[in-house]
Structure 1
Amino acid sequence: MVGAGHSSSSVLLSGRLRLALSTLLTRLPTCMMPLGLLLLLLERTDSYVWAGLAAGAHVAGHAIAAPGIARRYAAIGFFRPLLACSIAYPLLSVLVVVLTLTSPAWWLALPLIFAMGAVLPVTRQVLAGAWRRLDREMLEQHAGAIAPEAASEKVPQAIPELSGDQQPQVPLGIRLMNTVGADSSALLGPLLVAAVDVGSSPGYAVVAAALCGLVGSWLLLSDPYAAAVKIFDARQPRSSITRVRSAASRSTELTALLLAGGVTLGGFGVLTVTVTGFAREEIGRPWLAGVLLAVWAAGGFVGGLWAGLPHSHVDARSRYRTALSLVVLAQFPLILAERGVVLSVLLLLAGAAAAVSTAAHAAVVAKVAAKVGAEDIRARMAKLGYLGFAVGLTVGGVAVGGLPRLSLVFAVCAAVLSLAWMIGAVGPALTKRYFAQQARPAAMHTGPH
């Protein structure tokens, strides 16, 4: 029995490590490609406007195409669409790099960059299902080890039926391992771009990012926990989308929160281009942009771990308003940064605030969506977030290329995030107060005489 239990534990551990590697590799393109494209277009054109437009086109392509790919997964299964995307993505990346660096008509690479973003492998639902199955097995084994004779009675209570994006209640150590596997890509991605750009062209970083997606997708396709994943929530996509949109239109608070999330990601897009410009113009080493963005991600990594701890004593709305306020406050000192060391420290603090705000935003959106009856709101939230980030990259490119000082661009970033704070933190409270005041005269007018 001990040997069998040890063997089962080894299998689960190897499965977790394999799935963590798949999670890391499939998320690296999302974290590497915007910076890689920025550096690639800057090397070719010396224009921040074109660089921001190219990076934004890649993110926008993914935002527009990802929901359709997810619905395709539900219709025919994820194996064939994911396999096709994993092959097309690196092929298009090679074509983009060759066309950008060698052709006089380099601008023709822009529609290819958009198409490359459209075929970026979509793995969120598959990874979520695989992690749920693995966590379920670990909880079953844990319950059986505590009380083997009562495992059949206790396990069903410990592991409730799951639907959508719900997560089982797992031990803190397991949650930390999941966080490391998912969020370390944001830290490693910019560092890999910097490492490649030091010794060669940033075009190699673009191709390397696509190859990471290829390897990660193939690992996921061969994973036994992912093989049994079934995506059920999109079998009736039109009615589901209609329910989400109608629920969002009925709730001004939900609409404001979704819009605030998109604007916040737009501010982060402006920040990405601004940090790239700082490394290139102020320090004179473009590859240091990857290091600075990795420092920002390191702050986000720590903030994400803290945000994952229980905070039941704090209301979700209050936590989100506080976190978003900290994000805005953390941006203003960046305006005064003139040295790389100072900027690194400030980016570390800003990254921690950004991660806490992102987690609080997801929690309050889920709470409000459940209240108004909006199902699978995460898909719409992700789409608006990607579109906001794409617009932010484009706006950041225009700002860095058009404004005389980078401190002014940092001010633009702070202004965008302040707008997000006004929409997400102040907007719902004002609309609630307005509708409450409008309802009082109506209630008095229609009341009993």
Structure 2
Amino acid sequence: MRRYLVGGAVRDALLGLPVKERDWVVIGAQPEDLLAWGFKQVGRDFPVFLDPVCHEEHALARTERKSGRGYHGFTVNADPDVTLEEDLLRRDLTINAMAQSPDGTLIDPFNGQADLAARYLRHVSPAFAEDPVRILRVARFAARLAPLGFRIAAETRELMQAMVNAGEVDALVPERVWQELERALGEPCPERFIEELRHCGALKVLLPEVDRLFGVPQPPQYHPEIDTGIHTLLVLQQAVRRSTDPIVRFAALVHDLGKGNTPQHLLPKHHGHEQRGVSLIENLCQRLRAPRRYRELACLVAHYHTHAHRALELRPDTLLKTLEKLDALRKPQRFEDFLCACEADACGRPGYADRPYPQADYLRQALALCQNINPHPLTAQGLSGQAIAAALRSQRLQALRELASQTPA
């Protein structure tokens, strides 16, 4: 048996990045050999094993042949005579198709090291077109490596577009699309993921609600960028500056979906886009089977982000209703996430990136006042049930009236 370190561990080490996990390919062995040495098999579609000591993944060298549509339609050959170069040939990008022997020798049959130096994301072979997931992966690598200056090679972009035109993307299952989107949202430049999917035409298929935003005008006095799609990418960039949480970043991405179906005669204004956006987010999350926590925050941001922007102008009763609708008293951390996304929206415009957002602190003050009202004196008075709820609400409303009277509009 011969084993080689492969893929991301080799790539990241050459880039000087932290190596988070190490994967190995095994040449000249059969499953029975690894099982006899105490490895535990975990792969169902092809032979993957865990080292009994370090628990790192070891996969038998394999080739894949397209046998159907989508990314499940492959025939796998993991016979002992499969060579290292044949295994590397099936990989997606040249920078991921390098291996390293135990003595440190680099095996680079497809010039991955040269593409690392030139900062290119380039497909290894025409077999790239056999797996539509690779479109998502390449876009995600673009989002991850953008700070280092990486870009997708022209011929790879052309191949991705040809795959979309051939309908390959239609075969992607919702769970895999969501998995790649969620991972992309955690990358340093998730807006690049959206841009690259749009460039090859995949965004229109996978996230039509987001794709529809591009080219939709907004009032220039509030949005110097005018284009709603560009605004969305700017908001996502601002969310990245403020939070590492992909849930917050997802809310930023979809906060203005309602502007994508504003009736033409209303443009460039978007009256009612907040509620329209909620319906679109619910449909998108249901289609992609997104976790509930993503859907909940995104819907709240879509519905109430303009309330947040106008916080200093809200009447006390409207302010209290907003806090109640946001369930801010019971879920203060989600309320903070909401404020983060709203601030990203306000700053996601040319010239606004570093402007203060006093609305957030005002809303925090309002919540703190409501939290500080103690229900125990009301209980001591003999109140219970709805009577306590009404009295609490009355006291909170009075506290917000006092706050409003002390705060300049």
Structure number with greater Rg is 2
Instruction: Give the strand-richer structure, 1 or 2.
Output: 2
Of structures 1 and 2, the one scoring higher in RCO (CA 8 A, sep 6+) is: 1
Instruction: Give the helix-richer structure, 1 or 2.
Output: 1
